[in-house]
């Protein structure tokens, strides 16, 4: 990045800040309406459709796309793939912000934020899958906070606290993998209770496995995508190691994503077979299912594979976008499109513009926080005092 561009970015009234300012002001206004007028004031939710895009996008997509933290930490610290070490901090930061924003988004949907700890300390619904999800997300958010803390502590110059947090790395990584396996799959388990509401092509007894496997794909693809954006906008913050390792990360994660996508494609087809749902493929919903399965699972698997074979980084980076869109499409299909599929169209849900506004507002908060942290803390470079610590 040239000095001129950096200087331009330093100006307060740049394009990003202006857009962010507009989105934040609108978001705060809708927040005011939501918490003073209730759900009816800003959403199209109803008794038939109690879950809208705040669940399908902010929560289901948010949790899946924040999976890069546990995927990368496991690869580096548990499987010993040290060549991907420079991807850990950006991935953990993305995961930490992702989960924080999931919890924030949940407040809009559930309401009464002061009652957030109730399921933990007042009334435990231990037979509920949702209780398990809530407990896992609460613990995992704490784990991510501690995993992220060395960067903040290095920035603050608190050496002792930083060294203590670093000593916990392996333990936290194991916790992260266990907790993620549990709650990523449990988000799919939520739909096991509704076999009559979810279209048979999307409903499967294996849906928890589908959700878990897709979270790995989302995590791998998000690391590639986030790394691409970081190189585009924060290259001036990166040290030599980060710049040198970037191509290897893209190739390695692309290869892993190709293989996991191929496996996911196979188990999805087995799911159709196990339910004997082949005849549904001839219907309109079947066509849409094939669009998802071929266009957003098989195609990215093939494109990732070609990109890895040809060492075509551009293709891998664009494929990561396709794979991420595929995960988002899958969550929308499960939670909205194929849910309540037997209801007449007049009773189906379509989000209110203010629901979309809150989702955009929350994504924007994530971007602002990422930018704030990445430009100040040692996320994309090693702190000079700890250069040999890895």
> Interface residues with other proteins (CB under 8 A)?
248, 255, 258-259, 262-263, 266, 269-270, 273-276, 278-279, 305, 308-311
What backbone torsions phi and psi does residue 198 show, to the nearest 5 degrees? -90, 135
Report the distance separating Cα 174 and Cα 157, nearest Å.
27
User: Measured from the CB of residue 266, what is the shortest distance to other proteins in angstroms?
Assistant: 4
Identify which of residues 21 and 286 has a Cβ nearer to other proteins in the complex: 286
Euclidean distance between CA atoms 29 and 74, whole angstroms: 41
Q: Which two tokens stand for residue 191?
A: 């739909």
Least distance (Å) from other proteins to the CB of residue 279? Answer: 5
CB closer to other proteins, 112 vs 279: 279
User: Which residues, in sequence order, are bridge partners of residue 339?
Assistant: 198
Q: At what angle do helices 313-332 and 207-233 cross, to 10 degrees?
A: 140
CA distance 370 to 368: 6
The CB-of-121 to other proteins minimum distance in angstroms stands at: 45
From the list 9, 101, 119, 15, the residue with the least C-alpha distance to 58 is 101
Nearer to other proteins, 259 or 341 (CB): 259
Beta carbon nearer to other proteins, 310 or 347:
310
End-to-end CA distance of the chain: 28
| Identity of the residue, 60 or 303, whose beta carbon is nearer to other proteins in the bound complex | 303
Taking the complex as a whole, the smallest distance from the CB of residue 263 to other proteins amounts, in Å, to: 7
Minimum distance, C-beta of residue 286 to other proteins, in the bound complex (Å): 12
| Beta carbons within 8 Å of 323's beta carbon, 6+ residues apart | 217, 218, 221, 257, 261, 296, 300, 304
Q: Which is nearer to other proteins, 176 or 254 (CB)?
A: 254
Q: How far is the CB of 216 from other proteins (least distance, A)?
A: 15
Q: Find the shortest distance in angstroms from Cβ 90 to other proteins.
A: 22
Q: How far is the CB of 341 from other proteins (least distance, A)?
A: 20
Considering the complex, what minimum distance in angstroms separates the CB of residue 215 from other proteins?
20
Angle ∠(243,249,253) on CA atoms, nearest 5: 160
CA angle 328, 333, 335 (to 5 degrees): 95
């Amino acid at each position: 990045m040239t000095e001129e561009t950096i200087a331009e970015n330093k100006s307060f009234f740049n394009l990003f800040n202006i857009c962010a300012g507009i989105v934040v002001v609108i978001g705060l206004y809708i927040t005011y309406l939501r918490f003073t007028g209730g759900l009816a004031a800003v959403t199209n939710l109803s008794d038939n459709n109690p879950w809208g895009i705040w669940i399908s996008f902010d929560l289901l997509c948010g949790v899946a796309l924040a999976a890069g933290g546990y995927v990368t930490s496991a690869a580096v610290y548990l499987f010993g793939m040290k060549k991907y070490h420079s991807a850990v901090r950006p991935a953990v930061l993305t995961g930490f912000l992702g989960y924080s924003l999931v919890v924030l988004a949940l407040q809009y949907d559930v309401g009464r934020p002061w009652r957030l700890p109730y399921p933990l300390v007042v009334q435990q619904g231990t037979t509920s899958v949702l209780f398990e999800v809530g407990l896992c997300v609460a613990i995992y958010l704490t784990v991510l906070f501690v995993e992220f803390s060395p960067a903040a502590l290095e920035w603050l110059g608190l050496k002792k606290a930083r060294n203590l947090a670093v000593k916990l790395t392996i333990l936290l990584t194991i916790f992260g993998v266990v907790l993620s396996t549990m709650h990523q799959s449990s988000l799919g388990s939520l739909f096991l209770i509704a076999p009559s509401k979810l279209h048979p092509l999307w409903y499967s007894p294996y849906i928890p496995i589908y959700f878990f496997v897709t979270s790995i794909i989302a995590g791998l693809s998000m690391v590639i995508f986030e790394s691409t954006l970081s190189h585009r906008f924060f290259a001036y913050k990166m040290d030599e190691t980060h710049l040198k390792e970037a191509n290897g990360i893209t190739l390695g994660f692309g290869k892993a994503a190709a293989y996991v996508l191929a496996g996911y494609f196979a188990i999805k087809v087995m799911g159709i077979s196990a339910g004997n749902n082949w005849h549904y493929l001839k219907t309109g919903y079947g066509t849409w299912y094939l669009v998802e399965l071929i266009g957003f699972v098989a195609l990215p698997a093939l494109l990732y594979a070609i990109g890895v074979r040809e060492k075509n980084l551009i293709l891998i980076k664009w494929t990561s976008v396709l794979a991420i869109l595929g995960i988002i499409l899958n969550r929308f299909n499960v939670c909205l499109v194929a849910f309540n599929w037997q209801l007449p169209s007049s009773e189906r849900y379509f989000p209110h513009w203010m629901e979309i506004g809150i989702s955009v507002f929350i994504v924007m908060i994530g971007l602002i926080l990422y930018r704030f942290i990445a430009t100040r803390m040692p996320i994309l470079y090693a702190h000079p005092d700890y250069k040999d610590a890895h």
